[in-house]
Structure 1
């Protein structure tokens, strides 16, 4: 097995554990907060929101810094820094004495995070260019699988072992994944060559990368993808309730509809990544954007849960071609020596979409309903496809003539 394939297997496992650890607390977070002494329902909801968001807010600000250091000292070093750091912080969450302890630890976890963009940067540097799409798609499927199964695993463990042991188990698994990466993952990184490069600040690095029109377009595409996809996510359980009524198995159907997009995304990512290696990642990205836009239309028209289930399954199939294509194209257009920085900026734009999308969707839901938000997502994704066609397909083709 080539080094890049072995790296891919280990980093897939690492991405899965990191994303599962991030989302595992979703089912029991309000209950854990109650165990920490907060009993008022309004306060429990408030603390649940800020504790869950705290991780992503600090991650948004600190990702570019870790990307800069990765380009200077090596991606593997940043990977291990993040992996071991999160293992410690996650374990400490199990010892939290009150909600402030839990909030500060979640904020700290976001500050030291960076495993996923470091893994993407490392794989982009070690994978043969003709296998880049397959590599990025497979790596993406690991994170997606973790995001899907994390809440499910967390809910099961909460029933079996209680809340606090979950953090100890997650910390131990992250430590194991980091140890595996330390001994198995290989990276050829010339620190002497990297040290000779100009020590560009984070802001200057963003300006330099921003001068490359393809990268600016890809960063914006990442933000708009996450914004449009997540704007309706918090409302899905209420929409399922509207379609199904107050009957039995409501929670089951809500969970099924919420997770099916991730399952089909996980299946499609490696397949569309491999297709992109053959026909071009730009075309896969453009077609996937159009397909995802179209798949939001039936969601606005559905009359029962199973119609919604089918539409969201197909949405996930097209989503599988989005972020892997973006990651492959970022490597294609990024100057040598700035790969980690480019992926870290892209991760920040992804976090920004994750934060703003649900907020705006929730704010607009009263005026438009979730059906209207689905149609807004359609318009945004169609506009995104037009932008990709103009900046990543037409302009490079015109320049080469």
Structure 2
């Protein structure tokens, strides 16, 4: 088997383990605070659950660019192992927490040492044939999405079977397994001596250098908007489902979870297919098409009158979302200068974390002013379509103008 395919298989499993481990605690976090850590006040429990869950994203937002710079200098595989083994240790320690402050500190520490996903993307993008880039990154993305979908489901099953604390120990063991497989089987083409000769630059200077490449801010904004679009309405989804059920409570939790996760299933299916298509017709076109499609796909959600209509609308939304992050990653590799790939991907990861942070907060804040969750759907449509227009100007139109300019120079 070709080396890049072996890397892809191992890193797919690694991404699945990391993302499932990160989301496995979602269903039972409030119960863990109540039954194992001794909290009794419902408001205190809900407040701490939100703070603890967000703590990981806050520190990840800050530290991702730092690890990206280290990866560009010493190699991406080293960052995979640092992050994988580090998160495994922290996850096990969470199982020994005795109060909310300890759990919050460990979640924030987890964000500090995280970075497996951007390191995996950077490694694949720099060690995959250009003609297979879209397919490889699309497939890799499906592993992360699969973990995000199945993580809460697996966590819920394990909570009933082995208790809350044991889940942290199991997750830590699985992260260790994924890291060991990466250590043994993932191979990277990286010239450490050449990287060491390049001058060290600060995070701020690296950001300024990359910001001058006008395509990259547009791509980072796409990542931010994807996460914002999904997270701004997600906390309100159970209430929306309850409203569509006209007050009926039977199967409410199941239906709310099903509606929230169905976009992930269609995303997982579509990512490799759209990635392969982007290898044929160009990532810029797929990105623009999927931004338009995702924006339009939010409109039916604002107009639905039943849960099954919402289910269908969100399934189609997931198809378009499946083409966004893989093409963003492909284009970041295309426009990033050689030797700065990991740092560029780490900035993109920071934008992703920022979207995860502000989406729920902003959505909850403005929902009362713009007609609840239905208003948020329309607002998201407008933001995604504006983002599509910006992407068209900076990616497709600029590329076309560059090609025409080159043709004129050739004729002259």
TM-score interval for Structure 1 and Structure 2 normalised by the shorter chain: over 0.9
Q: Structure 1 CA distance, aligned partners of 2:295 and 2:322?
A: 13
Deviations 1:165-200 (A, max 9, x none): 100000000000000000000001111000011101
SS state at 1:367 partner: coil
Q: State yes or no: 1:381 paired with 2:384.
A: yes
Q: In the alignment, which residue of structure 2 is the partner of 1:232?
A: 233
Q: Structure 1 length normalisation: TM-score? A: 0.99
Alignment deviations for residues 119-161 of structure 1 (CA, whole Å, 9 cap, x no partner): 0000001110111100110000000000010000000000000
Once residues 224 and 163 of structure 1 are traced to their aligned partners in structure 2, the CA distance between those partners, rounded to angstroms, is 34
Structure 2: distance between partners of 1:247 and 1:181: 45
Question: Match of 1:52?
Answer: 53
Structure 1 distance, partners of 2:32, 2:307, is 31
**Aligned 1:297-376 pairs, distance under 5 A:** 297-368=299-370, 369-376=372-379
Query: Which residue of the partner structure matches residue 107 of structure 2?
Result: 106
1:142 aligns with 2:164: no
State the 4+ residue runs in structure 1 displaced beyond 2 angstroms.
none
2:401 to 387, 392, 398: 398
* Cα separation, 1, equivalents of 2:368 and 2:228: 18
Q: State the alpha-carbon separation in 1 of the partners of residues 227 and 158 from structure 2.
A: 29
1:2-401 paired onto structure 2 within 5 Å? 2-34=2-34, 35-244=36-245, 245-368=247-370, 369-401=372-404
TM-superposed deviation, 1:246: 2.2
Distance 2:171 2:161 in 1: 15
Deviation of 1:366 after TM superposition, in Å, equals 1.4
1:341 deviation in Å?
A: 0.3
Partner Cα separation in structure 2 for residue 21 and residue 246 of structure 1: 33
* CA distance in structure 2 between the aligned counterparts of 1:30 and 1:226, rounded to whole angstroms: 23
Distance in 2, Cα, partners of 1:389 & 1:72: 33
Shift of 1:217: 1.1
Q: Unaligned regions of 5+ residues in structure 1, if any?
A: none
- What secondary structure is seen at the aligned counterpart in 1 of 2:96? coil
Deviations 1:79-115 (A, max 9, x none): 1000000000001111111111111110100000000
Secondary structure of 1:171's match? helix
C-alpha deviation, 1:228, in angstroms: 2.0
Post-superposition CA distance 1:342-377 (Å, at most 9, x none): 000000001111111111000011122110100001
Counterparts of 1:40 and 1:235, CA distance in 2 = 22
CA distance in 1, matches of 2:49, 2:296: 34
> CA-atom RMSD, angstroms?
0.7
Larger deviation: 218-227 or 191-200? 218-227
Distance between the aligned counterparts of 1:48 and 1:247, measured in 2?
24
Helix, strand or coil: the match of 1:232? helix
Give the alignment's TM-score, normalised by structure 2.
0.96
SS at match of 2:369: helix
Unaligned runs of 5+ in 2: 405-412
Aligned equivalents of 1:169, 1:226: Cα separation in 2: 28
Find the aligned partners of 1:261 and 1:54 in 2 and give their Cα distance. Answer: 25
Instruction: Give per-residue Cα distances to partners, 1:211-267, cap 9 Å, x unaligned.
Output: 101111111121122212221111111100100132311111111101100000000
